[in-house]
Structure 1
Amino acid sequence: MTLPVERLREPAVRAFVAALNSNDRAAFADALAPGATMSDDGSERDLREWTEREVFASHGRMEVESEGEAGLALVATYSNDTWGAMRTAWRFTVEGGKVSRFETRQAPAE
């Protein structure tokens, strides 16, 4: 079952997912704190380069399965035009109401 974006507990994470799913670069940038960082499968990535390639240019989308850690951890099916769909885990750090860091990786199979 998919958890509706509007029901995500953490407002900053909710804004992040909503902007990603609507492919809205301006709203996505607004959801991030200045100097935000990220990692993918344990490797640090350039946030702007990664999001352009993995989200915006390839129409990325998250269907959230579950959330934990007061809304700062998600398990979601992430899909884009490049890789198709995969089960992913996301962890967020929020500072000042904005996402200051996110980490994503493949999630274990259920």
Structure 2
Amino acid sequence: MVHLRFLFPILASIFILAGCDGANRPVDGNPVSDSSGGGGAGTDKPLEITWPGGSVTIGDEGVEVKTPNVDVKTKPGVGTDVKAPGVNVSTSAGESVKVKTPTVDFEGRIEK
């Protein structure tokens, strides 16, 4: 019969190796946050994607890209393509968004 004192370290090792530490974060570690608190249709708050050294904000005011070397803001409903060292952000006229950085790889659709 297996004693609990031997079973606990085995279970703890499985949870640690599997990444089940109880934290509420994406599996791949991308620091993508929906600042609306739940997203979904009908929210007026923008989607904010952040990473070390930069951020992209997508909302009714347009798209804003900020890094140490880039500070771009576009009007709503206009396609945007921002390429800088380590940053690639593109949006089609209010429909899709792609953000690619060394730590973020995000692709989504904007729905009104």
Same fold per superposition (TM over 0.5): no
Q: TM-score, normalised by structure 2?
A: 0.24
Q: TM-score, normalised by structure 1?
A: 0.25
- Which structure shows the higher strand fraction? 1
- Which structure shows the higher helix fraction? 1
Higher Rg of the two aligned structures: 2
